[in-house]
C-alpha cells in the first residue's frame, strides 16, 4: 500500500455541508421570468466561474445576476440566496482535522469566492467560537478566488503542488466531484470520491487515519 503523508481536502460537501439544490432554487426564484431561461442560466454559470477565480469583483458578480433579476430584487437578496448554499461545519469535523494534523500534513483546496468565505469565517466565529480557521486547522489553504485557479483545471492542482511542496503520490485528495477526482488522478494523487451522504470523519476513522 502506498504511504500517505498528506491529506488534501475539498471544502464543500466534505468539510462544510451545502444545500446546492436549495440555493439554486432560491436564486432562480429571483430571476425575471420574462428573460430567456437558458441564457440566464449560462450568464449565471459564467459569472460564478469568473467569481471563483477572482477574475471579477463581488460587485460585478452581483450585477451580473441582478441584470437578469426581477426589478424588485436588490443586491442583498442575491447575497442571501447565494450564501444560503452554506449550511455549516459540525464541530466534530474540526476535531478530526486537529487529530489528523498530529500525523499528516493537512491541506484544503476549495472552489470558492469572497462572499462564501466571508460567511464561513463569520459562521465559525459566531457559532463555534473559532478564529484563525486557516492556520489553526491546516498546513496550507488554497482558495480558488485567491490563487486564480479552480478545479478541475490541471493548473489548480499544479499550483498546490508547487506552493505546498507536497508529493502527489503520497497525498490523499478527497472530493465529492468525480471530475475533480479524475483530474487529481492524472497528476498521481491518491484519491477518494466522497459520495453523497458519506460522513468523512467516519470514513477516515474507519480507514485508520486517526
Mean local confidence (pLDDT), 61-81: 97
Residues 57 and 140 both lie in one domain = no
Of 178, 117, 177, which is closest to residue 147 (Cα–Cα)? Answer: 117
Specify the range with the lowest mean pLDDT, choosing from 35-39, 63-67, 118-122, 132-136.
35-39
Residues 32 and 75 both lie in one domain = yes
Task: Kindly state whether residue 1 falls inside one of the protein's structural domains.
Answer: no
pLDDT digits 0-9 by tens, 118-131: 999 999 999 999 99
Residues 75 and 93 both lie in one domain = no
- Neighbouring CB atoms inside 10 A of 121's CB total 15
Q: How far apart are the first and last CA of the chain?
A: 17
Residues 108 and 169 both lie in one domain = yes
Contact indicator for 62, 25 with CB cutoff of 8 Å: no
pLDDT digits 0-9 by tens, 148-207: 999 999 999 999 999 999 999 999 999 999 999 999 999 999 999 999 999 999 999 999
Burial of 207 (0-12, 13-18, 19+ CB in 10 A): exposed
Phi/psi of residue 14, nearest 5 degrees: -125, -60
* CATH at 166: 3.40.50.1000
Domain limits at 33?
Answer: 20-83
Task: Kindly state whether residue 59 falls inside one of the protein's structural domains.
Answer: yes
Q: At 69, list the grid cell.
A: 433579476
pLDDT of residue 37: 87
pLDDT of residue 205: 98
Contact indicator for 79, 62 with CB cutoff of 8 Å: yes
Q: At 12, list the grid cell.
A: 464543500
pLDDT digits 0-9 by tens, 13-33: 999 999 999 999 999 999 999
Report the number of distinct structural domains present in the chain.
Answer: 2
Task: Kindly state whether residue 123 falls inside one of the protein's structural domains.
Answer: yes
pLDDT of residue 89: 97
Residues 76 and 164 both lie in one domain = no
Task: Kindly state whether residue 64 falls inside one of the protein's structural domains.
Answer: yes
Residues 46 and 61 both lie in one domain = yes
Residues 75 and 109 both lie in one domain = no
Residues 60 and 158 both lie in one domain = no
Contact indicator for 77, 66 with CB cutoff of 8 Å: no
Is residue 1 pLDDT above 70, yes or no? no
pLDDT digits 0-9 by tens, 35-58: 988 999 999 999 999 999 999 999
Amino acid at each position: 500500500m502506498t504511504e500517505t503523508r498528506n491529506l488534501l481536502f475539498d471544502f464543500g460537501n466534505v468539510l462544510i455541508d451545502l444545500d446546492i439544490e436549495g440555493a439554486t432554487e432560491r436564486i432562480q426564484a429571483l430571476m425575471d421570468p420574462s428573460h430567456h431561461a437558458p441564457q440566464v442560466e449560462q450568464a449565471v454559470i459564467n459569472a460564478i466561474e469568473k467569481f471563483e477565480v477572482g477574475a471579477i469583483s463581488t460587485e460585478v458578480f452581483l450585477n451580473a445576476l441582478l441584470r437578469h433579476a426581477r426589478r424588485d430584487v436588490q443586491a442583498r437578496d442575491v447575497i442571501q440566496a447565494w450564501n444560503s448554499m452554506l449550511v455549516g461545519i459540525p464541530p466534530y469535523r474540526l476535531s478530526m482535522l486537529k487529530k489528523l494534523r498530529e500525523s499528516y500534513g493537512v491541506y484544503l483546496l476549495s472552489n470558492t469566492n469572497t462572499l462564501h468565505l466571508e460567511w464561513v469565517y463569520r459562521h465559525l466565529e459566531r457559532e463555534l467560537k473559532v478564529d484563525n480557521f486557516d492556520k489553526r486547522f491546516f498546513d496550507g489553504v488554497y482558495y480558488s478566488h485567491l490563487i486564480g485557479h479552480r478545479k478541475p483545471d490541471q493548473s489548480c492542482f499544479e499550483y498546490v503542488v508547487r506552493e505546498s511542496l507536497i508529493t502527489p503520490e503520497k497525498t490523499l485528495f478527497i472530493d465529492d466531484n468525480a471530475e475533480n477526482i479524475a483530474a487529481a488522478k492524472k497528476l498521481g494523487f491518491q484519491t477518494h470520491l466522497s459520495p453523497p451522504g458519506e460522513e468523512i470523519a467516519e470514513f477516515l476513522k474507519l480507514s485508520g487515519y486517526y
